[in-house]
């Protein structure tokens, strides 16, 4: 039996066991789902470590295990700006906003990030606008389905279309059963597996595993022998739209600050048992979240080790494991990569379903209905139906896969980030932030992202770099938020104190949420 065949057989065995485990957790989550709120948030149900594993797993998508290593394989060490900077931006943003999201969600019964923003500013426009803008996250979902299909193709020899459908069916089964409970329980298991593999890849890179002579220096020499500009002495790649300069790297960092409160991540804060556990939860997220992006080092190692060029750079991690390890270990990677993909996909799909079930149906069309029990039943049904519809839409859009997963998913994310920065990130820290400033920031942020990304603003040409477009638009949206707020009346004192509590002293604008 050849090595390729052995890997495929072990991959099938482990994959069946893994999928069975995920469906079991889906059933377990269903038993804990009694109403629409449970389906949407799993409110106050999990401790800091379980939830922390779920959050870092959701953050580290298929792009982390395939897209970023693929860029490292193609470009070399200069591409490591992405895995180094993005966790600092994301988890730094979480430190700023998680407490407000958790406290407001618990205090007012909010279920989604658009609903929390609408409550913060007493604005139906912001709530509905953010909900509609969240539809752009379908691009993110598609990127995960594509990553899963590539993994199945590489490790198990499946046809691409069949692989997409297998992923979709598994997601559909366990998410329609348990919603957020199934999402969090499966993500916690997946996060643990992902951390183990990321630590293994880090060890392999540091020791130069598979490279003659061993050590990082040998890896660097082997990389430069194949691509002279890919070594660690090349900090930036001239004229590259993403890694061309220190300024572009800085914009990449700025672009990720609001990432931690995107709907599929921010709503997970609501599942924490109580606010006293926030410090442990966030500390765990920061540490574990810094480890997972080290998967990109596997792309560097793959460039050093693999002799034959890959037809698709995103295949580098599966190809590296097949080259260096026995079939069982290489097949185990297929499970872990699928974990990364499912852990992001399921959170995205649940939050996407709540656009229809909560933000549009419950809070808009049914807000004046007096039969709350009926509204809750309908919201639960709509949430489950929307899960199926979202997955089917994602499958249809996956038929023509993008060249780079890491870039493609940002087509939808960038506008969402620009729209959220002022209303949520600044609004979490600044009591003075008001409705007029938030609305202006939201509108300007979204429009400026679209214009900048399409190179329609003079002297801000980003040449298809969504990180730079998001970074610029976040700067613009933040400036608008501050200026418009200062030029308009504050929100009613009663509403502000209802949100933040009484000011501790009149000389500070710092919210009690950040103390």
Between CA 352 and CA 138 the distance in angstroms is 8
pLDDT value at residue 232: 93
Between CA 112 and CA 131 the distance in angstroms is 9
SS3 371: coil
Instruction: Determine what percent of the chain is predicted with pLDDT higher than 90.
Output: 45
Q: CB within 8 A of 332, min separation 6: which ones?
A: 10, 14
Are the CB atoms for 405 and 70 separated by under 8 Å? yes
- Nearest partner of 121 among 459, 420, 445, 507, judged by Cα: 420
Residue 318: CA count within 13 A, CB half-sphere = 30
**Which numeric CATH code is attached to 3-401?**
1.20.1730.10
Q: CB within 8 A of 31, min separation 6: which ones?
A: 178
Residue 387 in tokens: 């899960």
pLDDT tens per residue, range 127-180: 999 998 888 888 888 877 887 777 777 667 778 888 889 888 988 988 898 889
- pLDDT above 90: residue 513: no
- Least confident window among 109-113, 129-133, 214-218, 336-340: 336-340
pLDDT value at residue 247: 93
- What 8-state DSSP symbol labels residue 362? I
Domain limits of the chain?
A: 3-401, 409-503+507-511
- Least confident window among 76-80, 208-212, 503-507: 503-507
- pLDDT above 90: residue 338: no
Predicted TM-score (pTM) of this structure = 0.86
Highest mean pLDDT: which of 64-68, 437-441, 491-495? 437-441
pLDDT tens per residue, range 344-401: 888 889 988 999 999 989 988 888 888 889 999 999 999 999 999 999 998 998 887 6
pLDDT value at residue 263: 86
pLDDT tens per residue, range 222-258: 999 998 989 999 999 988 888 999 999 999 999 999 9
How does residue 402 score in pLDDT terms, banded at 50, 70 and 90? low
Strand partners, 46: 272
- What 8-state DSSP symbol labels residue 355? I
């Amino acid at each position: 039996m050849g090595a390729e065949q052995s890997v495929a057989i072990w991959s099938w065995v482990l994959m069946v066991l893994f999928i069975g485990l995920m469906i079991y957790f889906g059933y377990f989550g269903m038993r804990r789902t009694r109403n629409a709120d449970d389906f949407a948030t799993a409110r106050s149900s999990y401790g800091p470590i379980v939830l922390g594993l779920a959050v870092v797993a959701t953050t580290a998508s298929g792009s982390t295990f395939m897209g970023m290593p693929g860029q490292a394989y193609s470009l070399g060490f200069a591409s490591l700006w992405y895995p180094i900077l993005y966790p600092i931006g994301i988890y730094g943003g979480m430190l700023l906003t998680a407490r407000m999201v958790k406290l407001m969600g618990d205090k007012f019964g909010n279920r989604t990030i658009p609903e929390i923003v609408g409550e913060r500013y007493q604005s139906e426009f912001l709530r509905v606008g953010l909900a509609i803008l969240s539809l752009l996250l379908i691009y993110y979902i598609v990127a995960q389905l594509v990553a899963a299909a590539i993994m199945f193709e590489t490790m198990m020899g499946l046809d691409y279309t069949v692989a997409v459908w297998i992923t979709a069916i598994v997601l559909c089964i366990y998410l329609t059963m348990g919603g957020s409970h199934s999402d969090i329980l499966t993500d916690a298991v997946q996060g643990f597996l992902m951390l183990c593999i990321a630590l293994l890849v880090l060890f392999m890179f540091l020791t130069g595993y598979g490279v003659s002579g061993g050590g990082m220096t040998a890896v660097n020499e082997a990389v430069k022998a194949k691509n002279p500009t890919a070594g660690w002495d090349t900090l930036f790649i001239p004229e590259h739209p993403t890694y061309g300069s220190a300024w572009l790297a800085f914009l990449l960092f700025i672009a990720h600050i609001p990432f931690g409160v995107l709907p599929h991540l921010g709503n997970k804060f609501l599942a924490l048992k109580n606010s006293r556990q926030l410090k442990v939860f966030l500390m765990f997220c920061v540490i574990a979240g810094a480890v997972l992006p080290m998967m990109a080092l596997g792309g560097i190692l793959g460039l050093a080790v693999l002799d034959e060029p890959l037809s698709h750079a995103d295949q580098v991690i599966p190809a590296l494991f097949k080259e260096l390890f026995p079939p069982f270990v290489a097949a185990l990677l297929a499970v872990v990569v699928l974990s990364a993909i499912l852990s992001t996909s399921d959170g995205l799909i649940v939050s996407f379903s709540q656009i229809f079930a909560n933000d549009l149906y419950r809070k808009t069309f049914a807000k004046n209905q007096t039969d709350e029990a009926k509204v809750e039943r309908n919201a639960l049904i709509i949430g489950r139906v929307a899960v199926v519809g979202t997955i089917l839409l994602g499958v249809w859009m996956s038929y023509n896969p993008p060249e780079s997963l890491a870039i493609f998913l940002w087509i939808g994310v960038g506008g969402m980030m620009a729209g959220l920065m002022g209303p949520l990130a600044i609004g979490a820290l600044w009591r003075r932030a008001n409705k007029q400033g938030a609305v202006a920031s939201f509108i300007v942020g979204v429009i400026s992202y679209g214009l900048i990304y399409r190179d329609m603003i003079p002297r801000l040409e980003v040449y298809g770099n969504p990180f730079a477009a998001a970074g610029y638009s976040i700067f613009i949206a933040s400036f608008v938020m501050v200026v418009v707020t200062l030029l308009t009346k504050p929100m009613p004192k009663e509403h502000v104190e209802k949100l933040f509590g009484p000011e501790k002293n009149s000389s500070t604008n710092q919210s009690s949420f950040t103390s």
